């Protein structure tokens, strides 16, 4: 045998010692092989949120939410949800920009100094998008805007 060298023969012998040199066609039969849990759930696991369900987009850690899209003029108006500041109108009016809220009733307020404050009571349904269209009226000289809403205490 011309192609077999001393190094190749030693390598084959070492492999036989490691594998066990069994002539069994199923060398792992009867042995327990353990895989870490993270290898099974790795694509869906995040240590902060936990395990995601397979249809993970409309749910954050298993909780449903709904979306609100604001198409309000002027774009610089502040948005308050249940009295808490959420951002500016332009943050929630694009093709992929939405205000994510929990399902249920919410009071959405648009506030801008010099314009009439607009408050709308809306019901957000899970897995759906609610579009809010409005144009805020400019106040006449000498009038003042209503102050932005304050957070209401939750009843428990």
Q: What is the SS3 assignment for 125?
A: coil
- 38 and 89 housed in the same domain: no
pLDDT above 60 for 23: no
- Residue pair 72/140 in contact (Cβ under 8 Å)? The answer is no
Is residue 27 domain-resident? no
Is residue 107 domain-resident? yes
* Mean pLDDT confidence for 93-118: 92
Strand boundaries in 30-153, DSSP class E: 45-46, 50-51, 59-60, 63-64, 66-73, 78-81, 84-88, 99-101, 104-111, 118-124, 129-135
Residue range(s) defining the domain that contains residue 113:
65-135
- 53 and 95 housed in the same domain: no
- 53 and 78 housed in the same domain: no
Q: What is the SS3 assignment for 13?
A: helix
Q: Which residue in 77, 95, 97, 96 sits closest to 87, CA to CA?
A: 77
Mean pLDDT of the chain: 77
> pLDDT by residue (tens digit) across 25-78?
555 555 554 444 444 444 555 555 555 444 444 444 556 889 999 999 999 999
- Residue pair 125/119 in contact (Cβ under 8 Å)? The answer is no
Lowest mean per-residue pLDDT among 19-28, 68-77, 79-88, 106-115: 19-28
Is residue 143 domain-resident? no
In the prediction, which pLDDT does 61 show? Answer: 53
In the prediction, which pLDDT does 125 show? Answer: 92
> pLDDT by residue (tens digit) across 7-17?
777 777 766 65
Q: Which residue in 154, 136, 153 sits closest to 145, CA to CA?
A: 136
- Determine the Cα–Cα distance for residues 111 and 80; give it in Å rounded to an integer: 8
- pLDDT-based confidence at residue 135 (cuts at 50, 70, 90): very high
* Phi, psi of 144, rounded to the nearest 5 degrees: -120, 150
Is residue 13 domain-resident? no
* DSSP string for 52-74: PPSS-TTEETTEE-EEEEEEEES
- 107 and 93 housed in the same domain: yes
User: From the CB of residue 26, how many other CB atoms can be counted at a distance below 10 Å?
Assistant: 8
- 116 and 69 housed in the same domain: yes
Is residue 39 domain-resident? yes
Query: Which is higher by pLDDT, 6 or 40?
Result: 6
């Amino acid at each position: 045998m011309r192609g077999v060298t001393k190094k190749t023969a030693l390598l084959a012998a070492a492999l036989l010692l490691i594998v066990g040199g069994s002539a069994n066609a199923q060398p792992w039969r009867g042995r327990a092989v353990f895989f870490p849990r993270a290898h099974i759930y790795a694509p869906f696991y995040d240590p902060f949120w936990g395990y995601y369900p397979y249809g993970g987009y409309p749910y954050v850690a298993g909780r449903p939410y709904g979306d609100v899209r604001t198409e309000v003029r002027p774009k610089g108006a502040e948005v308050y949800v249940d009295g808490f500041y959420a951002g500016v109108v332009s943050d929630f009016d694009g093709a992929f920009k939405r205000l994510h809220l929990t399902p249920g009733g919410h009071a959405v307020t648009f506030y801008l100094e010099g314009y009439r404050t607009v408050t709308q009571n809306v019901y957000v349904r899970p897995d759906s998008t609610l579009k809010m269209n409005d144009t805020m009226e400019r106040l006449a000289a000498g009038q003042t805007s209503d102050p932005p809403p304050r957070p209401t205490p939750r009843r428990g």
